[in-house]
Amino acid sequence: MPARHKGIHTDAYLDRFWPYHAVIPWENCCERAYDKAHKRGDELGMACRRQYIRRDNREYQAFRFEKPEQAEAMAAEFGGETYYAPDRGKGSGWEKWRKKAKSPPKA
């Protein structure tokens, strides 16, 4: 069992209380854009930790929020999109973002 520092929230805890994620492409929120993106995330009330996600050979940073409006605002401002935490994979490969396919409308 891996050691964990007291007071550091687990990913499961964070997903339970901040389930709405703004998934921003790495280049739009890290390196040169780090300060701007993270300052805006703090203003919107993001969780204390972010998450690294891979999808289609691209890297993303997921910012966690309590309300869907917060995640939508962050995603719109930095060229990302939103998702709900249970859409992420479980077990090995949990960091891969598996988008659920939308079923066509029934006639």
pLDDT, position 40: 93
pLDDT, position 72: 94
- Assign domain 21-87 one CATH number from 1.10.3470, 3.30.450, 3.40.50, 3.30.1370: 3.30.1370
pLDDT in tens, 13-49: 888 888 898 999 999 988 898 999 999 999 999 988 8
Q: From CA 29, how far away is CA 87, in angstroms rounded?
A: 22
- The CB density around residue 68, as the number of other CB atoms within 10 Å, is 14
Alpha-carbon torsion, ordered 41, 10, 53, 30, to 10 deg: 40
**Residue 3's pLDDT band (boundaries 50, 70, 90)?**
low
pLDDT, position 73: 95
**Residue 83's pLDDT band (boundaries 50, 70, 90)?**
confident
pLDDT, position 41: 92
Q: What is the pTM of this model?
A: 0.74
Check whether 89 has a pLDDT greater than 70. Answer: no
Check whether 100 has a pLDDT greater than 70. Answer: no
Q: From CA 97, how far away is CA 107, in angstroms rounded?
A: 30
Give the N- to C-terminal CA distance of the chain in Å, as an integer. 51
Q: From CA 30, how far away is CA 33, in angstroms rounded?
A: 5
Amino acid at 62: A
